[in-house]
Structure 1
């Protein structure tokens, strides 16, 4: 939201805020679902069952790689320099012609990765992410690509009997109400039949209200951060509440832990799917049990690992290198996600599985009233001119944000950053913003975007 739009939204009464959320929901529905999405669901259903996985991967890779070489400045110049053409790309083995692309290479020259043909597939728009590396990135995409990406969610839901018009409850880090709100911690998107809960207000004093609203709304599906639903599950178990029955629970954006799985299974009667993806639309992974491998959908992308010696392989342990097959407006081959994973090749299905990952092990920020706040990376927006960012919480709950700024970082950027954080954690907490030259990394070359020294019970 722009500052003006946000000001108008928060000045509205609760009922009109629901209408405003629904209008935005209608826009998102048109971006995410439609004819392209329906066609892709059919393709996924047909080809995901194919026994000839290798030929499917070859076809998807060749299509996106040829497109990149013919239509983007970066890959066109790469092909000229390395003396190969689009027609020389014949299978996934030709991925070795392409270098690893780090996020900063895109940030420094984004237009070179964007489709230079003005005839976009349904209109260009932007998505924003910071990811687990703490570095913000603006992703360019289009209607058709976005709808094809969301087809993978539709296909997943269909496996469990979740229909398009079924009710959904979403518990995520969205700023839909102020920190001063005392009762209504949700807003209703009527067009998508989606009840949006704020994960930023979950506390021991408020959880009963979340539970009561879930009961009265009776959703068919819950889409949530693991940590948020875990808090509700613990409260339900402590108060001996009956299980809530659903068609499906999808957990995403955080590492799903065994203790969380045990509590959620005890509180909810529903199959649970742990989903792994990114705003850049580079991969789509799912698993049905926290102890099972994360299966990567080979129609969505292809994954590799970069080890500490600089070797790249389709299996092993190292940094997750992903090639997306979906986003035609901004095709990126061999994108360094910054996550560390253990990757295996399933010889029976011909697909790739992630055995373990540490890209989503952020600590939670603890507020003075006991709320546990996760997934704070949305505050580090690309327009704030930040290169890297890290939040550190001291045992006394005070916060320090270390910022490696871009040259254009300003006092106004700092002011907006402070405001964005206060929307999520509230006012009154000690907060220092410090500009630094660099941020200390782990032995694997990454740094943790959130470090909390507060008690993480």
Structure 2
């Protein structure tokens, strides 16, 4: 049965049967994610959180050596590359040896993906990227890597006080029901993981009372999903002048860059910390925030390099990742397409243990006419009142439009301050238009982008969504 037929059956079914279908799909995923060698992987992830630098280097060096040997013998692309460079696995005995290889760009992978597939290995699952550059990519993943990714999320939630199986409310990009159907309920229940899946497409002033009542009835221990969707929910609580009738242990965000103003409104409303995690569709990198707010890079899944990017400032680095587990379609020194900021003191390790913050995709920058890229512009909204949501769109080399969703109590002077804040950070080189809108449009996958550059630019990667 094709996905299209399944979707039509789901859409045409009553809500009670849709809940059964969601749970049946959930049980199927549960078997794929949490059986077989999953428990062993989870224990390894738990131990790895406490490894020191020497233990991390020893583990990663050994795994890198084994992965290079596998690539040289079984992966056509790397067989040609290693022969051309005159390298063997004996040349890779420490993580620093990775620099002997060129960086792999997304364009090369898209051009000949089959040459990265290991001979004789059947994938456990296929991960599809969004194809934001117009060329979708199917990534073959083995069972160990897929289940390791699940173990990483479970351990991350445990670390922040949410045990496996606790009630979880998810706000992500899933189409619970057609957008034009405005009749509740706007959530479906996945019994397999004790998970209530809420629609992010139906939340507005009219439907908010239903969401409020459903969440209070469900009493989730965790909210998890896109930061834009959970911040939108928090804004509705604020605008209604009410507090949640439940107390989550943590709010876990993923799949979008978490902005400072989103963190502020979420923590203020729900009275618990927001903990963000970052991963990639290529399953080569996982970084979750610790109690101090740093993104700790997990050493088991892959090796992460932070390459200085002169166009975005001395403290900004382009992320390059090497898989240590996915033998089916291994990627060595793969340019993810995202950037990050390193902890203080600024710019020391090439292979850092943690990241200070995730800046987002390379194209999520405003670029000035003189070639400077300005990222993390969410601070232009700091201290402003009456703005529920905003998005910066650079539609010309010398012009930006700021789309804003305003609250009824907005002081018009705040918009002038907002324009001035952006002008200061772009050296006055850009003309700025502020456009009031009813809602910021999301992408086809329901994701929110704080900055859109509608100019020719390198594209980033889709973050791994496991919520």
Q: Same fold (TM over 0.5)?
A: yes
Q: Deviations over 1:416-456 (max 9, x none)?
A: xxxx95x969xxxxxxxxxxxxx7235xx55899xxxxxxx
CA distance in 2, matches of 1:247, 1:91: 40
Q: Deviations over 1:282-337 (max 9, x none)?
A: 21112247x83322122222222344579xxxx95332211122322211011111
CA distance in 2, matches of 1:191, 1:234: 30
| Alpha-carbon shift at residue 113 of structure 1 (Å) | 0.9
Gapped runs of 5+ residues in structure 2?
A: 366-376, 378-387, 392-401, 404-432, 448-453, 463-467
CA distance in 1, matches of 2:230, 2:245: 13
Of the two structures, which has the highest relative contact order with CA contacts closer than 8 Å and spacing of 6 or more?
A: 1
Structure 2 match to 1:254: 256
Structure 2 match to 1:165: 165
| Alpha-carbon shift at residue 143 of structure 1 (Å) | 2.3
Structure 2 match to 1:285: 287
CA distance in 2, matches of 1:296, 1:447: 19
- Whether contact under 8 Å (2:306, 2:352) holds in the other structure is no
Structure 2 match to 1:440: 455
Structure 1 match to 2:152: 152
| Alpha-carbon shift at residue 135 of structure 1 (Å) | 5.4
CA distance in 1, matches of 2:460, 2:113: 24
CA distance in 2, matches of 1:180, 1:132: 26
Secondary structure in 2 aligned to 1:295? strand
| Alpha-carbon shift at residue 136 of structure 1 (Å) | 3.0
- Whether contact under 8 Å (1:41, 1:151) holds in the other structure is yes
CA distance in 1, matches of 2:37, 2:147: 6
Structure 2 match to 1:342: 341
CA distance in 1, matches of 2:137, 2:280: 12
Secondary structure in 2 aligned to 1:357? strand
Secondary structure in 2 aligned to 1:358? strand
| Alpha-carbon shift at residue 153 of structure 1 (Å) | 0.8
| Alpha-carbon shift at residue 344 of structure 1 (Å) | 5.1
- Whether contact under 8 Å (1:230, 1:260) holds in the other structure is yes
Matched, 1:97 2:96: no
Secondary structure in 2 aligned to 1:201? coil
Structure 2 match to 1:216: 217
Match of 1:84 among 84, 87, 96: 87
| Alpha-carbon shift at residue 398 of structure 1 (Å) | 12
Match of 2:64 among 28, 41, 61: 61
Q: Report the TM-score when normalising by structure 2.
A: 0.72
Structure 1 match to 2:119: 116
Matched, 1:227 2:215: no
Question: CA distance change for structure 1 residues 3 and 107 in 2, over 3 Å: closer, same or farther?
Answer: same
Please show how residues 10-409 of structure 1 align to structure 2 within 5 Å: 10-51=11-52, 52=54, 53-118=56-121, 120=122, 124-130=124-130, 136-182=136-182, 183-238=184-239, 239-242=241-244, 244-288=246-290, 292-308=293-309, 317-343=316-342, 351-359=352-360, 361=364
Structure 1 match to 2:417: none
Q: Deviations over 1:225-283 (max 9, x none)?
A: 11111111122233222463123321111122222222211221333211111121121
Secondary structure in 1 aligned to 2:220? coil
Paired residues in the alignment total: 384
Question: CA distance change for structure 1 residues 106 and 136 in 2, over 3 Å: closer, same or farther?
Answer: same
CA distance in 2, matches of 1:285, 1:10: 36
Question: CA distance change for structure 1 residues 173 and 44 in 2, over 3 Å: closer, same or farther?
Answer: same
Q: Deviations over 1:56-86 (max 9, x none)?
A: 3323322333322222111122111211222
- Whether contact under 8 Å (2:216, 2:244) holds in the other structure is no
Question: CA distance change for structure 1 residues 343 and 212 in 2, over 3 Å: closer, same or farther?
Answer: same
- Whether contact under 8 Å (2:68, 2:88) holds in the other structure is no
Q: Report the TM-score when normalising by structure 1.
A: 0.74
Secondary structure in 1 aligned to 2:322? strand
- Whether contact under 8 Å (1:244, 1:267) holds in the other structure is no
CA distance in 2, matches of 1:343, 1:134: 31
Secondary structure in 2 aligned to 1:180? coil
Q: Deviations over 1:324-372 (max 9, x none)?
A: 2232221101111111223359999x95222343325599xxxxxxx98
- Whether contact under 8 Å (2:338, 2:461) holds in the other structure is no
CA distance in 1, matches of 2:245, 2:176: 28
Question: CA distance change for structure 1 residues 132 and 258 in 2, over 3 Å: closer, same or farther?
Answer: farther
Question: CA distance change for structure 1 residues 355 and 135 in 2, over 3 Å: closer, same or farther?
Answer: farther
CA distance in 2, matches of 1:68, 1:325: 11
CA distance in 2, matches of 1:143, 1:283: 16
CA distance in 1, matches of 2:322, 2:460: 23
Question: CA distance change for structure 1 residues 24 and 64 in 2, over 3 Å: closer, same or farther?
Answer: same
Secondary structure in 1 aligned to 2:192? coil
CA distance in 1, matches of 2:206, 2:300: 44
Gapped runs of 5+ residues in structure 1?
A: 364-370, 375-391, 402-419, 426-438, 450-457
| Alpha-carbon shift at residue 131 of structure 1 (Å) | 7.4
- Whether contact under 8 Å (2:48, 2:298) holds in the other structure is no
| Bigger mean CA deviation after superposition, 301-310 or 81-90 | 301-310
